[in-house]
A and B are shown apart, each in its own frame.
Chain A
Amino acid sequence: MTELASSTTRQAGPAPFADKLRFYGIWIAAAVALVVLPMIFSSGGSLTTFSLIGISIIFALSYNILLGQTGLLSFGHAVYYGLGGFLALHGMNLIISREWPIPLPFVPLIGGLFGLIFAMILGWVSTKRAGTVFAMISLGVGELVASSALILRSFFGGEAGITTNRTDLPPFFGYTFGPQIQIYYLIAFWVLVCTIAMYALTRTPLGRICNAVRDNPERVEFIGYSPHVVRYLAFCFAGFFAGIAGSLAAINFEIANSAYLGIVQSGVVLFATFIGGVAYFFGPILGAIFVTYLQLGLTDLTAVWQLYFGVIFIGIVMFAPGGIAGLIMMHRPLYRAGTLSMIMPAYLVALLPTLALACGVILLIETVSRYLVHAGDDTTLHLLGIPFDTSQPLTWAITAVLLIGGFYVARMTWRGIAAAWDRAATAARDKGYAA
Chain B
Amino acid sequence: MTAAIEINAVNKSFGNISIIRDLNLRVEKGERHAVIGPNGAGKSTTFNLISGYLAPTSGEVRLNGQVISGLPPYEINRRGLSRSFQVTNVFGRMSVWENIRCAVLWATGHRYAFWKNVDKLPEVRDRTAAILEDVHLTARRDVPASLLTYAEQRALEIGITIAGGADVILLDEPTAGMSRAETERAVDLIRRLSEGRTLLIVEHDMSVVFGLADRISVLVYGQIIASGTPEEIRGNPKVKEAYLGEEAH
Q: Verify if B205 is at the interface (C-beta below 8 Å from A).
A: no
Closest to B101 in A: A208
Taking a contact as CB atoms closer than 8 A, the residue among B74, B78, B114 that contacts A237 in the complex is B114
Dominant secondary structure of chain A at its interface with chain B: helix
With A209-B105, A222-B73, A229-B112 as known contacts, state yes or no: A9 contacts B91, CB within 8 Å.
no
- Within 8 Å CB of A223, what residues of B? 74, 77, 82, 102-103, 105-106, 160, 163-164
Q: Verify if B148 is at the interface (C-beta below 8 Å from A).
A: no
Please give the distance in Å from A230's CB to the nearest CB on chain B: 7
A8-B119 Cα distance, complex, nearest whole Å: 8
**Would you give the 0/1 interface string for A210-226, flagging 1 where the beta carbon is closer than 8 Å to chain B?**
01101110111111111
A7-B74 Cα distance, complex, nearest whole Å: 30
Closest to B92 in A: A215
Inter-subunit contact A204/B107 (CB<8 Å)? no
A9-B140 Cα distance, complex, nearest whole Å: 12
With A222-B73, A224-B107, A226-B74 as known contacts, state yes or no: A205 contacts B116, CB within 8 Å.
yes
Please give the distance in Å from A201's CB to the nearest CB on chain B: 6
Please give the distance in Å from A395's CB to the nearest CB on chain B: 48
**Would you give the 0/1 interface string for A194-208, flagging 1 where the beta carbon is closer than 8 Å to chain B?**
000000110111111
Q: How large is the interface on B (under 10, 10 to 19, 20 to 34, 35 or more residues)?
A: 35 or more
Q: Verify if B98 is at the interface (C-beta below 8 Å from A).
A: yes
A268-B37 Cα distance, complex, nearest whole Å: 56
With A204-B116, A233-B114 as known contacts, state yes or no: A224 contacts B142, CB within 8 Å.
no
Closest to A204 in B: B114
Q: Verify if B18 is at the interface (C-beta below 8 Å from A).
A: no
- Within 8 Å CB of A98, what residues of B? none
Q: Verify if B154 is at the interface (C-beta below 8 Å from A).
A: no
Closest to B157 in A: A219
- Within 8 Å CB of B30, what residues of A? none
Q: Verify if A121 is at the interface (C-beta below 8 Å from B).
A: no
Closest to A202 in B: B118
Closest to A200 in B: B117
Taking a contact as CB atoms closer than 8 A, the residue among B51, B74, B94 that contacts A211 in the complex is B94
Beta-carbon contacts under 8 Å, A414-430 to B:
none
Please give the distance in Å from A198's CB to the nearest CB on chain B: 11
**Would you give the 0/1 interface string for A226-244, flagging 1 where the beta carbon is closer than 8 Å to chain B?**
1001100100010000000
Please give the distance in Å from A93's CB to the nearest CB on chain B: 33
Q: Verify if A20 is at the interface (C-beta below 8 Å from B).
A: no
Taking a contact as CB atoms closer than 8 A, the residue among B113, B121, B142 that contacts A7 in the complex is B142
With A215-B93, A222-B77 as known contacts, state yes or no: A204 contacts B98, CB within 8 Å.
no
Inter-subunit contact A9/B163 (CB<8 Å)? no
Knowing that A7-B142, A223-B82, A226-B74 touch, tell me 6 more A-B residue pairs with CB under 8 angstroms. A203-B119, A208-B118, A211-B102, A221-B73, A222-B161, A224-B164
